[in-house]
Amino acid sequence: MDSGHSEHSIPLALKILVAGGFGVGKTTLVGSVSEVRPLHTEEVLTSAGIGTDDILGVESKRTTTVAMDFGRITINDDLQVYLFGTPGQERFWFVWDELAFGALGAVVLADTRRLADCFPSVDYFERRRIPFVVGVNRFDGARRFTPDAVRQALDLHPNVPVVSCDVRDRQSGKHVLVALVEHVAAKRGHPVPTA
Partner 1 sequence: MPTNGSGLPHHDWLDDDAGPVVRPYTVTGGRVRPVTGGFDLLAFVLAAPGAIRAPEAAQLQPEHRAILALAREPISVAEIAAGLDLVVGVVRVLLGDLLASGLIALHEPSAMAHLPDDDILQAVVNGLRAL
Ligand X SMILES: Nc1nc2c(ncn2[C@@H]2O[C@H](COP(=O)(O)OP(=O)(O)OP(=O)(O)O)[C@@H](O)[C@H]2O)c(=O)[nH]1
The site string for ligand X over 82-111 (x = CB under 6 A, - otherwise) reads ---x--x-----------------------
Binding to partner 1, residues 22-61 (CB under 8 A): 33, 39-44, 46, 53-59
Contact 118, 154 (CB under 8 A): yes
- List the single partner that 98 binds among partner 1, Mg ion, ligand X, none, CB under 5 to 8 Å by kind: partner 1
- At 147, which amino acid appears? P
- List the single partner that 162 binds among Mg ion, partner 1, ligand X, none, CB under 5 to 8 Å by kind: none
The string of DSSP codes covering 51-63 is TS---TT-SSPPE
Least Å from the CB of residue 38 to partner 1 = 9
Question: Is the Cβ of residue 26 or residue 183 nearer to Mg ion in the bound state?
Answer: 26
Least Å from the CB of residue 191 to ligand X = 32
Contact 18, 86 (CB under 8 A): yes
Integer-rounded Cα radius of gyration of the chain: 18
Is 22 a binding residue for ligand X by CB under 6 A? The answer is yes
- Pairing outcome for strands 63-76 and 132-137: unpaired
Which residues contribute to the site for ligand X (CB under 6 A)? 22-28, 85, 88, 137-140, 166-168
